[in-house]
Amino acid sequence: MKNWLLNNLNESAFEKTGPIPRSIARTFERFKKELDPNSESEIIEEFRVSRYQTSASIKYLLLLIIAPILINQVSRIFVFSPFIDYAWSEKNNEIFLNVSQEERAFSELQMFEEKIHFEILIGQLPALSQESIEREIKNKAVELAQYYSHESVTAIKNLLADICSILTFFYLIVSGKRQISVLKSFVNELIYGLSDTAKAFLIILFTDIFVGFHSTHGWEVVLENGLRHFGLPENRDGIFLFIATFPVLLDTIFKYWIFRYLNQVSPSAVATYHEMNE
């Protein structure tokens, strides 16, 4: 029984597209099974395969999500934090990891000083002596130094902990080839089992989010926060170059997938997509 299940799962996982659309082939196959007198037992076995496939896929997918997150948090708290906090505290003169942090700190300090003078001019603050103003600016500078020092330490921890998470994820992928086959089959059945309207809606949704004309601002926010997360300098030219090239490449991949695979498997979904996109 177990071998039969595995054979069916492997066949489903590596099923390739043929000259006849899969939806039409499945219609004829279902009609053929309905006329088969032994179809009842086959339907029961297919249900068992589907149940095993769904259960195994969900378990493995949860493992791929939860295991890297747990490794990330455990390595950050118990391994990297004590070592990095001690090493960073030994270098009291180190505050910034890159030029971008310095520029943001100086900009915030300048805005704070201008805010004090502005509030004094409009009467929201009493007239302060130059010594008092310098004292307030100094306190703000110390506060900013502590903030960016903590941000720098956190960025180093993020980098090391995320490397551990990525290594854990790739280990699970490499060591779980059979689970990957089952998961691939489950995803294929889930995607290609949707209605044509649902397929077209999801394609339009993903393409508009990642490669639409308004997606550039989203990519900019994601890249800036990602660079800060790892303590890397926020190179504006590099960010704009990425935005100008990567969505174009992603759009090409989407169009190739639609033309090469979806057009063979479900041509009606492609027609619905073009009609909805116009």
Q: What is the CA radius of gyration of the chain?
A: 28
- What letters, b where the CB count within 10 A reaches 16 and e where it falls short, cover 169-208? eeebeeeeeebbbbbbbbebbeebeeebeebbeebeeebe
Question: How far, in Å, are 18, 20, 202 from residue 263 at the CA level?
Answer: 11, 11, 15
Q: Dump pLDDT digits (tens) for 231-242.
A: 899 888 999 999
Comparing 19 with 105, the larger pLDDT belongs to 105
How many alpha carbons lie under 13 Å from residue 166 in its C-beta half-sphere? 6
Q: What is the mean pLDDT of residues 148-160?
A: 94
The listed range with the strongest mean pLDDT (16-30, 54-68, 259-273) is: 54-68
Q: What is the mean pLDDT of residues 41-67?
A: 83
- In this predicted structure, the answer to whether residue 14 has a pLDDT above a threshold of 50 is no
Q: What is the pTM of this model?
A: 0.76
Cα–Cα distance, 8 to 235 (Å, whole number): 51
* Pick from 83, 42, 60, 66: nearest CA to 186: 60
pLDDT band at 38 (very low <50, low <70, confident <90, very high): low
Mean pLDDT computed over every residue of the chain:
83
Q: Copy the structure tokens of residue 172.
A: 């699970």
DSSP conformation letters of 117-144: HHHHHTTSS----HHHHHHHHHHHHHHH
Q: What pLDDT, on the 0 to 100 scale, is given for residue 28?
A: 59
For 89-102, what is the HEC assignment?
A: HHCCCCCCCCHHHH
Comparing 31 with 244, the larger pLDDT belongs to 244
Q: What is the mean pLDDT of residues 168-181?
A: 92
- In this predicted structure, the answer to whether residue 133 has a pLDDT above a threshold of 70 is yes
Which helix (H) or strand (E) segment is 249 a member of?
A: helix 236-257
Question: Domain extents for the chain?
Answer: 195-278
Comparing 78 with 23, the larger pLDDT belongs to 78
Cα–Cα distance, 164 to 223 (Å, whole number): 21
The listed range with the strongest mean pLDDT (15-29, 150-164, 189-203) is: 150-164
Q: What pLDDT, on the 0 to 100 scale, is given for residue 36?
A: 59
Cα–Cα distance, 104 to 114 (Å, whole number): 15
CB count in 10 Å sphere of residue 45: 14
Q: What pLDDT, on the 0 to 100 scale, is given for residue 156?
A: 93
First to last CA, the chain: 50
Q: What pLDDT, on the 0 to 100 scale, is given for residue 270?
A: 80
Cα–Cα distance, 122 to 14 (Å, whole number): 73
Q: What pLDDT, on the 0 to 100 scale, is given for residue 161?
A: 96
Q: What pLDDT, on the 0 to 100 scale, is given for residue 13?
A: 43
- In this predicted structure, the answer to whether residue 251 has a pLDDT above a threshold of 70 is yes
Q: Copy the structure tokens of residue 126.
A: 């009493």
CB count in 10 Å sphere of residue 49: 19
- In this predicted structure, the answer to whether residue 243 has a pLDDT above a threshold of 70 is yes
Residue type, 100: S
